[in-house]
Amino acid sequence: MSVYTQYGDNPEIALLQKQNAQPYHELSGMLNIAPTFGIYHPVLMAGVRAQFFHVNFRGQTIRLDKPIGIFRFNNALELPFKIWLNVDFSYRTAGNAENMYLEDTWQCDLGLYKSFNNDQWTIKLQCNDLFSTAQSNMILQSDIREIAMEKDWDTRDISITVRYNFNTAKSKYKGTGAGESQKSRM
């Protein structure tokens, strides 16, 4: 993990470097729900990530165990001509990860997808981080230093992906029944 330490004998200079951390425990859980309502295919995902971690900071032991909630709400809508519209939202709550406190962040992605010739050709138009909200604001605590970092990611982009699949399988392997005698024996 990233740690700040005093550089040599000069207390005015800090060295930021990656170091191995002491072992710690982490608990995470995810729940996915994916119903279908005709042409509408929503997927709701909710999760939590909690660590049980402490660090020495300015001569004291502090606990960094505030859990992080993770939420995704993906929406797929089948439009006419088998075109798919995706509107996906993601949100992460504030909490601790390693020796950092991460602030909350969210983003929205938008996409259109169309396949041709039995999925041999596909084209996808995608806009990521539509509202330019993806950020990574954090407070890192290590040894005698605390640093606040604000990173405004420039993740908004538009992409077009064209894909061609060679030798697409026309049928699935169905087997020859070679294991039937073994199954009946058991």
- 78-115 confidence digits (pLDDT tens): 999 999 999 999 999 999 999 999 999 999 999 999 99
Has residue 141 been placed in a domain?
yes
Has residue 161 been placed in a domain?
yes
The helix/strand count (H/E) of the chain reads as 1, 15
Tally of structural domains, the chain: 1
Q: Reply yes or no on whether the pLDDT at 32 is more than 80.
A: yes
Has residue 182 been placed in a domain?
no
Has residue 19 been placed in a domain?
no
Has residue 49 been placed in a domain?
yes
The domain in which residue 133 lies consists of 27-167
pLDDT tens readout for residues 133-184:
988 899 988 877 788 888 877 889 999 999 999 876 665 666 666 677 766 7
Has residue 15 been placed in a domain?
no
Q: Given the DSSP bridges, would you call strands 100-102 and 68-79 parallel, antiparallel or unpaired?
A: unpaired
pLDDT tens readout for residues 40-71:
999 999 999 999 998 888 889 999 999 999 99
